[in-house]
Amino acid sequence: MSKVQSITRESWILSTFPEWGSWLNEEIEQEQVAPGTFAMWWLGCTGIWLKSEGGTNVCVDFWCGTGKQSHGNPLMKTGHQMQRMAGVKKLQPNLRTTPFVLDPFAIRQIDAVLATHDHNDHIDVNVAAAVMQNCADDVPFIGPQTCVDLWVGWGVPKERCIVVKPGDVVKVKDIEIHALDAFDRTALIPLPADQKAAGVLPDGMDVRAVNYLFKTPGGNLYHSGDSHYSN
């Protein structure tokens, strides 16, 4: 069999995806954070990897999924938050625009997984699976109630999950994580397709979304998730 005959779609995907391979995984592991600083890597969307001077590693909103992939269905999903917010029916062309820079299944050193809210470009089942399968068995999953509900539903043990709401503080080695108020309108308005919004008050923001302030010995980092500008 010739080389071109032996190549398949599956072999092509495995040889080229994720686009960066384990390059960034290795860079993060090898990074020696200077005293008085912290290191941070952007993972796409609002995903961030944070490493402290003490070598503590946390990720927040790490998304390994994709956006629209086909024109097959020209209409948006009924009840989708963007459909309800914008009052539109035609498909929203929200394609993933950034490469996959970090291989979740090559992660070995991580101290906490966090999510700001439960939209699937901020909380990812593949990340949960990779951490559960390949990392220490005490790595916590930290987020608001709706995120914890998702993790537990995927099979993450409840005792590994920490529910946070504004005002809560969680210590992960030398990083102090403060949960803060979020203001994300789109987190409030998703509804099941068969449920009408008329006369229905949304439940509280605090069970759906939080922001985070990461306090490290080398400085602080504020993560706003999908919060909109407000006062």
How much is the pTM? 0.92
- Is 3 within a domain? no
Which pLDDT does position 230 carry in this prediction? 64
For residues 197 and 211, give the distance between their C-alpha atoms in angstroms, rounded to a whole number: 26
Structural domain total, the chain: 1
Which two three-digit tokens encode residue 50? Answer: 């944070």
Among residues 101, 166, 170, the alpha carbon closest in space to that of 139 is found at 170
User: What's the mean pLDDT in 178-204?
Assistant: 76
- Is 146 within a domain? yes
Give the CATH number for residue 103: 3.60.15.10
Rg (CA), the chain: 19
- Is 12 within a domain? no
- Is 2 within a domain? no
Which pLDDT does position 231 carry in this prediction? 55
- Is 143 within a domain? yes
Which pLDDT does position 63 carry in this prediction? 97
Band of pLDDT at residue 186, cut at 50, 70 and 90: confident
For residues 161 and 180, give the distance between their C-alpha atoms in angstroms, rounded to a whole number: 18
Q: What percentage of the chain reaches a pLDDT higher than 90?
A: 74
> Residue 100's Cα: distance from chain center in Å?
13
Domain hosting 67: range is 19-223
- Is 228 within a domain? no
User: What's the mean pLDDT in 49-59?
Assistant: 99
**Cis bond before residue 18 (omega within 30° of 0):** yes
pLDDT above 70: residue 36: yes
- The predicted-structure confidence for 128-151, as pLDDT tens digits, reads as follows 999 999 999 999 999 999 999 999
Which pLDDT does position 95 carry in this prediction? 87
- Is 82 within a domain? yes
Which pLDDT does position 191 carry in this prediction? 65
pLDDT above 80: residue 99: yes
